[in-house]
Amino acid sequence: MKRGSVCAIVALIGSLLVEPALAEVIALKAGYLIDPATASVSRDKIVLIDGAKIVDVVERMPVPAPARVIDLSTRWVLPGLMDLHTHLSYDYTASLCANYLEHGNGYRALIGLSKAQEMLQAGFTTVRDVGNAGNYVDTDLRRAIEAGLFKGPTIVNAGKIIAPFGGQQDAVSPTVGPCWNYEYIDADGVDEVRKAVRTNIFYGARVIKLVSDFRGGTHGVYTEAEIRVAAEEAHRVGLTLAVHAKEDETAMAAVLGGADSIEHAYAVTDAVLKLMKQKGVYLVNTDIPLSHLLGGKSSNPAVARERSRAKVERLRRAYQIGVPLAFGTDVTHDLPDRDRGRMALDFIDVWLEAGIPSAYIVKAMTTQGAKLMKIDGERGSLAKGHYADIIASPGNPLDDARVLGSVDFVMKNGQVVRER
């Protein structure tokens, strides 16, 4: 062992003898320690954890006595997973107005807490929640988890979705307006977009989300100039900009306007994908597994299979072109006997069907997500100084990413939340 590592351990143990109540030191024995960024595996390492953070990663050695030992010597250990496109606090079994009129913020917060905890149990230690959370329920949920009132993943929340007038609604009666204003900020033109971004920042957003969508016409499409002002306002305070865009025209404006990620991009051509690669804009693809489509309430099997095929092909092209990819799901309904975490893991099947190697999928679910959210200096890898967000599985996910469905150990900020 390196002398520096020994000194670090001695200093750490010494500090505990002086102030024993501050934190519990944990020595996590990792049989196979995965670095998703390089797809490399280290054998027989000890991850030393003090409080919420990793203080060192050292060679196997006799563990000093006040440390608590967690033995994962037969397990594959890696950073916690990340889902970059969730809507935790929206009830998809109800209509937009039912969410507004019948549920209210309190109930919506409890929906979000339930889904967040399901995600954490499945191994997702960080999620980006991109809107449809009522009147800033996502901020309240994030703050409650950060305060330690409840266990849950790190939440990077968007506040209200910013969209051209009408949100994501088709033409409806004016009386429906209060329903979408509960979920969206109407913003047309650069000045309104700028104010909307600043409003979300004021109310606790940690990412900015815009919707640019034809909705059967042109009334829901943002211009490059409108996208740019949103990007400038977000970047000015260290936040990122995610833009919902499905086709070339909306995605092109978002890429040229400075978006950090394009959400969905279902029908984009290679020209846009190549521009995304050139500018380093991430694709968060949200491609629904065929099993989910067939399990939907009103699914037509032939239509579902064609939709799935087209999305898989677009994901294959994006990977081959070299677009940076981050894992996101956008689960939009619930299936019997499958909680939100399990449904999120089902999306791995789409990536495998697109011919993407398991090692890249693991990277997209960890380090790539951290880079997109600009939290890679503190999460997304098992490195000294990073938060101890750690999971373990009985098999090697670099060989088969589906092994992540068998995660049997989850640690969040140094606290064990699931252990076999």
CATH code where residue 414 lies: 2.30.40.10
**And the tokens for 27?**
């020595």
The number of angstroms, rounded, from the C-alpha of 228 to the middle of its chain's C-alpha atoms is 24
Paired tokens of 281:
């804009």
Q: Is residue 185 domain-shared with residue 127, that is, in the same domain?
A: yes
Confidence label for 298 from pLDDT (cuts 50, 70 and 90): low
Using 50, 70 and 90 to split pLDDT, how confident is the model at 12? Answer: very low
Count of structural domains within the chain: 2
d(CA 324, CA 273): 10
Q: What is the pLDDT of residue 62?
A: 74
* Average per-residue pLDDT for the chain: 91
- Together in a domain, 102 and 199: yes
Q: Identify whether residues 286 and 405 lie together within a single domain.
A: no
Residues 362 and 408 in one domain: no
Q: Taking the CB of residue 7, how many other CB atoms lie within 10 A of it?
A: 10
**Would you say 265 and 283 are in contact if contact means Cβ atoms under 8 Å apart?**
yes
Q: CA angle 330-334-336, nearest 5°?
A: 145
Q: Specify whether 239 is located in the same domain as 299.
A: yes
Q: What is the pLDDT of residue 84?
A: 98
Confidence of residue 307 (pLDDT cuts 50, 70, 90): confident
DSSP 366-418: THHHHHHHT-TTTSSS--TTSB--EEEESS-TTT-GGGGGG--EEEETTEEEE
The pLDDT of residue 22 is above 70:
no
Q: In 272-405, where do the E strands start and end?
A: 282-284, 390-393
Please, are residues 381 and 367 in contact by the beta-carbon 8 Å criterion?
yes
Question: What pLDDT digit, counting tens, does each position of 102-121 carry?
Answer: 898 999 999 999 999 999 99
According to DSSP, residue 387 is labeled B
pTM to 2 decimals?
Answer: 0.92
CA 308 to each of CA 91, 205, 216, 228: distance values in angstroms, whole numbers, following the listed order? 24, 32, 22, 32
Q: Say if residue 251 is in the same domain as residue 271.
A: yes
Query: Does residue 73 sit in the same domain as residue 87?
Result: no
The pLDDT-based confidence of 10 (bands split at 50, 70, 90) is very low
Q: 23 pLDDT band (50/70/90 cuts)?
A: low
Same domain, yes or no, for 160 and 275?
yes
How is 218-280 classified by DSSP, letter by letter? STT---HHHHHHHHHHHHHTT--EEEEE-SHHHHHHHHHHT-SEEEE-TT--HHHHHHHHHHT
In this structure, what is the dihedral angle of CA atoms 392, 395, 397, 400, given to the nearest 10 degrees?
-160
φ/ψ bin of 258: left (φ > 0), alpha (ψ from -120 to 50), beta (otherwise): left
Q: Are 143 and 163 in contact (CB under 8 A)?
A: no
Domain that holds residue 17: 3-79+382-419
29 and 103 housed in the same domain = no
- Percentage of residues of the chain with pLDDT beyond 90: 76
CATH number, domain of 287, equals 3.20.20.140
Q: How confident is the model at residue 99 (pLDDT cuts 50, 70, 90)?
A: confident
Same domain, yes or no, for 64 and 169? no
Q: Is residue 198 domain-shared with residue 281, that is, in the same domain?
A: yes
Question: How many angstroms separate the CA atoms of 211 and 196, rounded?
Answer: 13
pLDDT at 233: 98
For the cut 60, the answer to whether the pLDDT of residue 71 exceeds it is: yes
The Cα 308–Cα 153 span in angstroms is: 29
Same domain, 128 and 10: no
Using DSSP's 3-state secondary structure scheme, residue 166 falls into coil
* Parallel, antiparallel or unpaired: strands 40-50 and 53-59: antiparallel
